[in-house]
Amino acid sequence: MRIILLGPPGSGKGTQAQLLVQRYGIVQLSTGEMLRAAVAAGTPVGLKAKEIMASGSLVPDEVVVGIISDRIDQPDAKNGFILDGFPRTVPQAEALDELLKAKRLKLDAVIELRVNESALLHRVETRVAQMRERGEEVRLDDTPEVLTKRLANYRSQTEPLIHYYSERRKLSTIDGMMAIDEVTRAIDRQLQALGATEPQEAGKQTSKGKTRSAAKTAPVKKAKAAKKSAKKPAKAAKKAAKPAKSAKKASKKAVKGPRKAVKKTVKKTVKKAAKKTAKKAVKKGAKKVAKKVTKKRAKR
């Protein structure tokens, strides 16, 4: 399963990505983390990225795509991945399409978590106010001002991706303002509808490594197996009865055969005897008539 989660800051992408990772055994690919890992590993692409970052420049798309290419070739990404923070622009989306095409892979779904920006700002304002009341330190990047700027960047750079993926029939939009578990269920339904995953995969992992849904279907499977086993002796008995039936049929045929032959012989014998008797009678009758004629002639 290969999916992209889209949504503005505060839409809950990170939370849902983690839940999908646990649920389906796939990996979350964050461009920031991948860049740091590539630099630490000293890969050719990582060294190039290190050089660019050291000069204070932004890492170009081709370098980021190269890092993603190396990362999805690793064994833990075999079952699939969620891209987090990439693509951010339409050119990046096009580069990703080319990369997946070259690797003979396909993107299964793009999930957009749609949220109300005013509600997001209100949430941040409330949270910041509560933290200040408690005397807690507020992060510099967790303020309504910063969020307003990030939302503006999202609208100008990333929002065009919604149109891009919608045209390619990859986009599914979900209400990100719902409760976390409701959003998770809605994502599962969309993935199943798109054929990205099977319904039984959606169960949580149990202590034995089986899914909850698999655990639920186990008694049903056992009952089916028991029914099948119960049918086996009946089947065997039926099979065993077949030769007996055939033997009965054969013996009937064997008895019927001689009977038919005897009947035929008797019929033939009777016919022959009747013919012989009739011949004899005709001969005798003829002799009698001849005798009478001779007698009459003698008297004259």
**Binding site listing for AMP:** 31, 36, 57-59, 85-88, 92, 139, 150
How many residues are present in the chain?
300
Catalytic site includes residue 139: yes
Q: How many CB atoms lie within 10 A of CB 262?
A: 10
Q: Are 150 and 85 in contact (CB under 8 A)?
A: no
C-alpha span between 160 and 62 (Å, rounded): 20
Which residues are annotated as part of the binding site for ATP? 10-15, 134, 178
Of 50, 114, 123, 127, which is the active-site residue?
Answer: 127
Of 103, 106, 132, 139, which is the active-site residue?
Answer: 139
Structure tokens at 220: 């049903």
Catalytic site includes residue 13: yes
Structure tokens at 3: 């999916």
Of 50, 123, 150, 185, which is the active-site residue?
Answer: 150
Catalytic site includes residue 169: no
Catalytic site includes residue 104: no
Of 88, 114, 123, 185, which is the active-site residue?
Answer: 88
Catalytic site includes residue 88: yes
Per-residue buried b or exposed e for 8-25, using 16+ beta carbons within 10 Å of the residue's own CB: bbbbbbbebbebbeebbe
Residues annotated as catalytic (active site), given as ranges: 13, 88, 127, 139, 150
